[in-house]
A and B are shown apart, each in its own frame.
Chain A
């Protein structure tokens, strides 16, 4: 991010560290060196650049001198600031120009210098090379020098062609609505009153702290230069930069906050360099409008707090020495019993305003590696694990146990995919929440259903020749509740089955997956979660093929639906073959799960089994017959299994034969044949009376 050439850095502090050692040492005190790049192989550390990741709180590290201060703190060497020997002319600046700051809050300090008779031309090679090393393109000596000093001090400077300024003066003010400026990137911009501008007598000539204007920029024929070095309000610059979508080296620094003293050092340094390298004459003095000087920043710090937060045991004197190495001035050391000190913060550390900030400063120079790790058992706190979390895990495990792969999709979907789901016009899944700044239309709304994500996963795999899919996802869906309330977030379960139901085996032909495979999977989940009383009734969601779906109802509430997807949906998603999906509400599912179960005694008496087949009308649901059997068979009926459903020649048209295997058992004795026969007879009677069921065949035990 911020590139620091090693030998440039060494100009300000002569630390006996190689570039590698320096990178490590800087990282250790919180100046992250992302990479050490070598641009020339031959000369060791020459041409080496440290690429710094500067955090948002440290604008002072966006200048090489700021980095050098850190190196000085690490190494104990002194910092040498660059010389600025200016030979000023007789004429004073006040006689030639003026600065009028009309917005003191937006511009707390504005300095100007004037350099006359400049010869604009290319920079000397050493300067051009250094700019290239930090990633800047050399333009001409005047502009290059301001960029060079920007890199040194982290203080943005701007040179104006003085002769282009109307009435040859500077006004710092808010833009007038509708005012226009062509910036140096050749873009014509229309301004609003939120923006701070540098103007001459009539018009804006620069976007303050962001970018200069085309008309007053330095040109080959420029003779006289007005140099600006200023401080702007971070919030004003940040808003302006966001509004214009224009981030520059200058705006990036100003929105993080500047150093009021660097304003002076930088302008003098640049003036001296222009005089030296561009042959100009510096006019005597500088204009310094400083309407809002920052008061001296003094913070009280307690040694006890330092030790408490860091978990160490330093004396106040030791802390004071750490802080002083970083440029802080400690005024009264450890007079109070808790080691209270007053600390004066240097102007370049705008980020330091509280005691805790100083604790961090002391801690980072002391070294985190020197802080002892502590493993304390304080009072035992029982870790809570919410029931929902446990049951959701269990749900996931039950699906995995049945051979399903868990998928995770983005929370965003393509709104057009929702339209492809065949949903009714008022379906709540149609009212999605739209992002203001989506990555793309495909990821522009929050999902209201897991089905599009599952289908997307299915398409991906089918295109890669994986046709047998057993996928599931557990995740949140989102429903808007207006702009004054956060959306409703519901955790849902989606399952998708496609292809064949068994893993491939050479000894048998694969059977295609069907409705009852999905239903069996769901029953497995319900059994595993020990959810009883879940009703499965014919469904009518248009997502599914007509007559090929069901609703899951628990306590009279629909908690999900499943079945074969409508063929139009399958085609719309570019899939081939029947697709079976489940879409259920996880909170609804697990609400009844996980109650503590009491042990049921396992009896040692034998079971007696009776098989019986009934012929009934096609329209009668088997579920009704099962209920009837349970009702009639009495409390010794342990289990019913449907083992055959037959339609065919030997039966009257419009009827079917359903075969049941009934298992009877008593907890306390062996049942007699008479008891079992009586129970079976009761079943036969009830089914005949209620549904006209005829016994087709029955086998004794």
Chain B
């Protein structure tokens, strides 16, 4: 009996070592077969119980069954460990992550740069209390010229080379006709901006036959050239940055008097002079005090009301800002251009 008990003890020791030492499921199975298999040593002891005396059978049997359960449990545990280790190893090998491979993208949409620029400028004036007004692209000569203090045969008409449809119907050369239409139907105070497409008979690197313009009009009591300067300086700061300097020089437009052109310090060289600006200054818009003749055309009393107006080309604003050297790029719609903005 003592020998049987001792033999169980050595089985426990060896089998435990074997289970610990097995590094693959195959090795572990070999350990199981050696002790718990049909011909295994522990199985042999259990099988021999029947031929043992009763007292011995009881004590050896109890110890052998305990050991069988224990080994079974340990093998199960070890199986799980080995499986997990294997899984970890397999993952590590097969799914080596290459963080430098390109990711899966979706198409990225872009608004046209002109739409973006138009929106940016419009937003600046919306914040200053200007409302948007729009009108037709095809206009009467009256709204495009005559009501703007340019009667027939006025030489200033040559400032805009005009597409005509009939003697009296044309493509507007500026969005000023919208100002006339708004003043015809509303009483002051008026504070509007008029974004829209305009047309000129011109096509080269700096002229497109259609272009986008934003004009503004403010009519109220005692509006002065000082108000015009203040408003447009705020605009320039909002679009070109706080440190931009501005300069107003007298100019001529038939529909404003006094008239001015607004220059800002060149955003490329900061005003010291460069290949683009030459002088350090870049012209960005035309403006002035609404001419009394325009007020007369819409039935406003020029003694009661004064006002200012301004107009700028969106293409020009963007060409300066992004250093685009050919206006035709805006209308060519090359996706390599569109995706840059």
Show the binding face of A for B, using Cβ within 8 Å.
Answer: 27-30, 32, 35, 55-58, 234-235, 238-239, 255-256, 308-312, 354, 356-357, 359-360, 363-364, 368-369, 371-376, 378-386, 389, 393, 396-397, 399-412, 433-439, 443, 446, 456-457, 460-461, 464, 466, 469-471, 476, 478, 483, 486-487, 489, 502-503, 505-507
CB–CB A56/B159 < 8 A: yes
In the complex, B243 has a CB within 8 A of chain A: no
CA distance A433 to B224 in the complex (A): 42
| Known interface pairs A393-B119, A409-B333, A487-B138; A435-B165 also in contact (CB < 8 Å) | yes
25 intermolecular pairs with C-beta atoms under 8 Å apart: A32-B249, A32-B251, A55-B251, A234-B155, A309-B258, A354-B292, A356-B257, A356-B292, A368-B260, A375-B230, A380-B129, A385-B126, A404-B107, A405-B338, A407-B338, A411-B197, A412-B209, A435-B165, A436-B163, A436-B165, A437-B163, A466-B335, A478-B137, A478-B138, A506-B101
In the complex, A359→B169 CA distance in Å?
A: 35
| With contact pairs A389-B132, A476-B137 given, residues A503 and B257 touching in the complex (Cβ less than 8 Å) | no
* Shortest Cβ distance from residue B230 to the other chain A in the assembled complex, whole angstroms: 4
Question: Are B226 and A385 in contact, CB atoms less than 8 angstroms apart?
Answer: no
**Across-interface contacts of A373 in B (CB, < 8 A):** 226, 229-230, 233
Q: Which single member of A310, A311, A410 contacts B209 (CB below 8 Å)? A: A410
B34: Cβ under 8 A from any A Cβ: no
B153 at the A interface (CB under 8 A): yes
Give chain A residues whose Cβ lies under 8 Å from the Cβ of B299: none
Identify which of A56, A359, A401, A502 contacts B156 (C-beta below 8 A): A56
**1/0 per residue B94-117: CB within 8 Å of A?**
000000011011111111101100
Given known A-B contacts A57-B252, A483-B169, A435 and B164 have beta carbons under 8 A apart: yes
Contact flags B28-39 to A (C-beta < 8 A → 1, else 0): 000000000000
Count: A-B pairs, CB below 8 Å = 238
Does residue B140 face the partner (Cβ distance < 8 Å to A)? Answer: yes
Known: A436-B165, A483-B166, A506-B102. A406 touches B110 (CB 8 A): yes
Determine if B258 and A359 form an interchain contact, defined as CB atoms under 8 angstroms apart.
Answer: yes
| Contact assessment for B333 and A438 in the assembled complex, using a CB-CB cutoff below 8 Å | no
Instruction: Please state if B139 and A486 are interface contacts (CB–CB under 8 Å).
Output: yes
The 6 A-B residue pairs with the shortest CB-CB distance in the complex, in nearest-first order = A30-B250, A311-B226, A403-B107, A311-B224, A400-B109, A55-B252
Known contacts being A412-B210, A461-B335, is A374 close to B250, with CB within 8 Å?
no
B27 at the interface (CB under 8 A from A): no
> With the chains together, A354 CA to B292 CA distance in Å?
10
Known A-B contacts: A360-B250, A381-B129, A438-B163. Give 8 more (CB < 8 A): A30-B250, A360-B258, A364-B258, A368-B260, A374-B229, A405-B335, A406-B115, A435-B171
- A376 — nearest CB in chain B belongs to which residue? B227
Please determine whether B250 and A410 come into contact, CB atoms closer than 8 angstroms.
no
How many chain-B residues does the 8 Å CB contact rule pick out?
85
Residues of B within 8 A of A (CB): 101-102, 104-112, 114-115, 119, 125-132, 134, 136-140, 153, 155-156, 158-159, 163-166, 169, 171, 189, 191, 197, 199, 201, 203, 208-210, 220, 222, 224-227, 229-231, 233-234, 247-252, 254, 257-261, 278, 289, 291-292, 306, 330-336, 338-339
A310 touches B131 (CB 8 A): no
* B159 surroundings in chain A (CB, below 8 A): 56
Q: Give the docked Cα–Cα distance between A55 and B251 (Å).
A: 7
Q: Which residue, B126, B197, B224, has most C-beta atoms of chain A within 10 A? A: B224
Contacts of A374 in B (CB 8 A): 224, 226-227, 229-230
For B191, list chain A residues within 8 Å (CB): 381, 383
Establish whether residues B169 and A486, one from each chain, have CB atoms under 8 Å apart when the complex forms.
yes
B192 to chain A, nearest CB (A): 9
Determine whether the beta carbon of B109 is less than 8 Å from that of A410. no
Q: What are the residues of chain A within 8 A of B333 when measuring CB–CB?
A: 407-409, 456-457, 460-461, 471
The chain A residue with its CB closest to the CB of B209 is: A439
Bound form: Cα–Cα A360–B132 in Å:
29
Residues on A with beta carbons closer than 8 Å to the beta carbon of B155: 56, 234, 238, 255-256
Give every chain B residue within 8 A of A379 (Cβ-Cβ).
189
Chain A residues positioned under 8 Å from B156 (CB to CB): 56-57
Q: A64–B45 Cα gap in the complex (Å)?
A: 131
In angstroms, Cα B110 to Cα A401, docked, is 8
Tell me the smallest distance from the CB of A192 to a CB of chain B, in Å: 17
Residue of A nearest to B289 (CB): A309
Q: How far is the CA of A505 from the CA of B107 in the complex (A)?
A: 11
Instruction: Kindly list chain A residues whose C-beta atoms are within 8 Å of the C-beta of B222.
Output: 308
A119 to B250 alpha-carbon distance, docked (Å): 47
CA distance A29 to B258 in the complex (A): 12
Please report the C-alpha to C-alpha distance between residue A309 and residue B257 in the assembled complex, in whole angstroms.
Answer: 9
Which A residues are CB-close (under 8 A) to B225? 309-311, 363, 368, 371
How long is the Cα–Cα vector from A403 to B108 in the complex, in angstroms? 4
Report the Cα distance A471→B159, complex, angstroms. Answer: 36
Least distance between A382 CB and chain B CB atoms (Å): 8
Report the Cα distance A483→B166, complex, angstroms.
7
Where chain A touches its partner, the secondary structure class is: loop
Give min CB distance, B103 to chain A, whole Å: 8
* Whole-angstrom CA separation of A182 from B257 in the bound complex: 43
**B199 x A411 contact (CB < 8 A):** yes
> Given A356-B292, A489-B137, A433 and B111 touching (CB < 8 A)?
no
Contact B137 A356 (CB under 8 A): no
CB pair B250–A364 under 8 Å, yes or no, is: yes
Which of chain B's residues have a CB closer than 8 A to the CB of A435? 163-165, 171
By beta carbon, the residue of chain A nearest B119 is A393
Contacts of B106 in A (CB 8 A): 403, 502-503
The answer for the CA separation of A461 and B126 in the assembled complex, in Å, is: 36
Task: Find chain A residues with CB under 8 A from B197 CB.
Answer: 411, 476
- The smallest C-beta distance from B241 to any residue of chain A, in angstroms, reads 17
Q: Which residues of A contact B166 (CB under 8 A)?
A: 436, 483
In the complex, chain A residues whose CB is within 8 Å of the CB of B254? 56-57
From residue A493, how far is it (CB to closest CB) to chain B in Å?
13
A48 to B138, CA, bound (A): 45
- CB-CB under 8 A from B164, the residues of chain A are 435-437
Is there an interface contact between A308 and B224, defined as CB atoms closer than 8 Å? yes
B227:A311 contact, CB within 8 angstroms: yes
Q: Please name the residue on chain A nearest to B110 by beta carbon.
A: A405
Contacts of A382 in B (CB 8 A): 129
Residues of A within 8 A of B208 (CB): 410
Report which of A56, A384, A408 forms a contact with B252, defined as CB distance below 8 A.
A56
B residues in contact with A405, CB < 8 Å: 109-110, 112, 335, 338-339
B136 touches A489 (CB 8 A): yes
Residue of B nearest to A357 (CB): B257
With a cutoff of 8 Å between Cβ atoms, the chain B residues found around residue A478 in the complex are 137-138
Across the two chains, which residue of chain B brings its CB closest to A456?
B333
Complexed CA–CA distance, A37 and B264 (Å): 23
Q: A437: which B residues are within 8 A, CB to CB?
A: 163-164, 201
Q: Using Cβ atoms and an 8 Å threshold, which residues of chain A touch B108?
A: 403
Nearest-CB residue, chain A, relative to B261? A32
What B residues does A363 contact at CB under 8 A? 225, 250, 258
- Give the residues in chain B near A396, CB-CB below 8 Å: 111, 115
Determine the chain B residues whose CB is within 8 A of the CB of A487 once the complex forms.
136, 138
Which residue of B has the minimal Cβ distance to A408?
B112
* B201 CB contacts on chain A under 8 angstroms: 437, 439
Question: Which residues does chain A contribute within 8 Å of B250, judged by CB atoms?
Answer: 28-30, 360, 363-364, 368
With A373-B230, A486-B136 as contacts: A368 and B249 at CB distance below 8 Å: yes
- The residue of chain B having its C-beta at the shortest distance from the C-beta of A501 within the complex is B107
Give B286 Cβ to nearest chain A Cβ, in Å.
11
The docked-state distance in angstroms from the alpha carbon of A437 to that of B163 is: 6
Contact for B249 among A30, A238, A375, A402, CB less than 8 A: A30
Query: Which residue of A is nearest B260, CB measured?
Result: A368
Please state if B306 and A460 are interface contacts (CB–CB under 8 Å).
no
Bound form: Cα–Cα A457–B338 in Å: 11
Q: Which residues of A contact B257 (CB under 8 A)?
A: 356-357, 359-360
- Chain B residues with Cβ under 8 A from A407's Cβ? 112, 333, 338
CA–CA, A647 to B298, complex, Å? 70
Q: How far is the CB of A366 from chain B (nearest CB, A)?
A: 10
Q: Is the CB of B105 within 8 A of A505?
A: yes
